[in-house]
Amino acid sequence: MKETMVHLLELQEVDNALDELRRARETYPRRIDELRRELEEERTTLEELKGKLQELERQKRHYERELRRAQDELKKHKARLYEVKTNREYDAVQQEIEAWENSLGQNEEVLLDTMAAIEELTPQVADREQAYARSHEEKQEEMGKLLDKLGNLEEELEEHLKRREEIAGRIGQRLLATYERIRQGRGGVAVVPVTREACGGCFSQLPPQVVVEVRRGSRLIRCEYCGRILVWNEE
Ligand SMILES: [Zn+2]
């Protein structure tokens, strides 16, 4: 019987590992998808910010051009003031000069606003770019690790299943069925060691007589509270 108890504990350990591997097989791909999505969102935000900056730069060039044009026109019209021959002509040119002066003032104002916006946005873009680079590196690394683990997963599952078959072969059919039944009802854990005179599954204190019997290992003892099979852990 004592040997059977050891096999039961081994079986539990191999089943724990199998459960873990199966969980990983489900959760790793989800985590990888999540990381990909996060990265994509971060990249989109960065691109949007960069696009905004580019648009501002484009506006800046536009207003600079307009400003130069207004300056040129003003110079031209002012020169013409000396060439006009009549008062009417003089008034007309004077009016155009006023109009170009207005345009110059407006363009200057908008250009200054645009330059201020660029000055504000440029460091933001740089910060965001750095943050993205960092995040990209971290997430790529995590994804790489998960993909590696996923690559080995099937092989590991295969190995553990083989080992499980070996161990299960040493345990009788009826005991095996009991084991499976408890495992199903108790979150996958059917065999637990006695720890400090308590059940290692539900942590209920066990009567001294039960502890002695588990230690002796001459018959199958189950926790009277949670029903799990109790074994004595030699270490
Ligand atoms: Zn218990």
pLDDT in tens, 9-64: 999 999 999 999 999 999 999 999 999 999 999 999 999 999 999 999 999 999 99
CA of 203 to the centre of ligand 1 (A): 6
157 neighbors 18 (Cβ within 8 angstroms) = yes
Q: Is the pLDDT of residue 234 over 80?
A: no
Model confidence at 235, pLDDT cuts 50, 70, 90, reads low
CA of 182 to the centre of ligand 1 (A): 11
CA of 2 to the centre of ligand 1 (A): 20
The whole-number pLDDT of residue 152 equals 92
pLDDT in tens, 145-199: 999 999 999 999 999 999 999 999 999 999 999 999 999 999 999 999 999 999 9
The amino acid that residue 35 corresponds to is L
CA of 191 to the centre of ligand 1 (A): 10
pLDDT in tens, 110-141: 999 999 999 999 999 999 999 999 999 999 99
- Of 209, 175, 215, the residue nearest 194 (C-alpha): 215
The dihedral sign for the CA sequence 47, 49, 55, 61: negative
Tell me the sheet residues that pair with 195: 198
pLDDT in tens, 218-230: 899 999 999 999 9
Domains located in the chain, CATH noted: 21-169 (1.10.287.1490), 175-231 (no CATH)
